[in-house]
Amino acid sequence: MTVTNFRLEYAGANRQRAAVDVVYDDGSREEIWFDLPEEIPASRTGNPWLALMLPLAAASGEDLRLDLPVDSWLKLNAEALVKLWTAWHPETCRNIRILAETTPPAAPQPDVLSTFTAGIDSFFTVLRHPECRHYINVLGLDMPLFKRDAYERLTARLERIAGQLGARLIRMATNVRETRWGRLPWESYAAGGVLSASMLLFETRFGAGLIPSALDIRVPYPSATHQLTTPLYSASTMRIIHDGASHSRAEKIEALAGERIVLENLHVCFMGQDTHGQDDTNCSRCGKCLRTMLALDALGKLRECPMFDLSGYSVELAGRMECVRPTTRYYVHDVRQLAERHGRQDIVRQLDLSLRRSRRAALLDRFLKTPFLWRLPVHYRINAFRGLAKLHRIPEPAPA
């Protein structure tokens, strides 16, 4: 694949659009763009586009060519990153070549940037890094582009939070998940590339970008934002830093439980009320919302969090959570340990029930491709997790 025809275009009042064309080996072509504030100079190097397109190149097996120069350190890091992906995901990632002119290392700027969603991980990062005075949030990643009204409401709240913390929110948007790139596995190796690319677009203004960790350093599972992979998106002009891996998510909730600004604004949901992407509220039904609510309940803080709808909440729902995937199981164990530390045996018992049911579901999954027997795992899941039937993704309406 070839990244070509970089351009900066006017995108409305005080906005600019950084765009490239991506030409794939099959001859097809797509435009990929980022909208960002006009007053901040956008990078004119290939660094953001190398970070962005590297996961897709590795997944497709196509060499990555860029007609923009890239930082020599970033190119070396990217080659190591591809090798790590091929070890972690041998069935989906292949070794590729990165073909681009390189520039010598340059000194970074002193200012610090962080992604910010008002979730547990991002609140933990910005509160322990008061030197970080700029936050970014990107429409088109967790929240789809068609939810612009919800994005306006969300970012208005994020701007108020940033102002209270002495910082500024930078609004961005991208179409990347509406292109071929969007079919990549987000949690396996895609998310790190687009988050790093969003920061590298500001490499002329900021010298460090913080990406909040989702898992703590003790967890052995590979993920898209990981303490091994995230720093490999660094260029000499901007260090990309994996922050917060010293704490599990439940430990972060425990550390933040005394912060009023967190409790009043906590927004963890990426599914949304319609189950088709984040909006400006917590659905209070999905697994991520429920795990957070259980942790806050164990700490006696849940009723101080107005962003959650408690009308359908009960501890018994914990027993109906499915946690077959290793990372989901880790999060459930994490909340269980927190509940046990705070003497909430009712939560512990329900989470143990969820773990037992999920182990049985995992054992039955071996029959999913067996004629007739596939009904066993399907029937078991419907009955074992039926208490959370509303969590299932709502089908999209048929086109008119």
Which comes out higher in pLDDT, residue 109 or 274? Answer: 109
C-alpha–C-alpha distance, residues 292 and 278, integer Å? 16
Quick: pLDDT tens for 305-335: 999 999 989 999 999 999 998 999 999 999 9
Flag whether the pTM goes above 0.85.
Answer: yes
Tens of pLDDT, residues 284-305: 989 999 999 999 999 999 999 9
What are the residue ranges of helices labelled H in the chain? Answer: 47-60, 72-88, 120-128, 148-164, 191-200, 249-256, 260-265, 287-298, 326-341, 345-364, 375-384
2-15 tens-digit pLDDT? 999 999 999 988 99
- Buried b / exposed e over 68-107, threshold 16 CB at 10 Å, is bebbbbbbebbeebbebbeebbeebbbebebebeebeeee
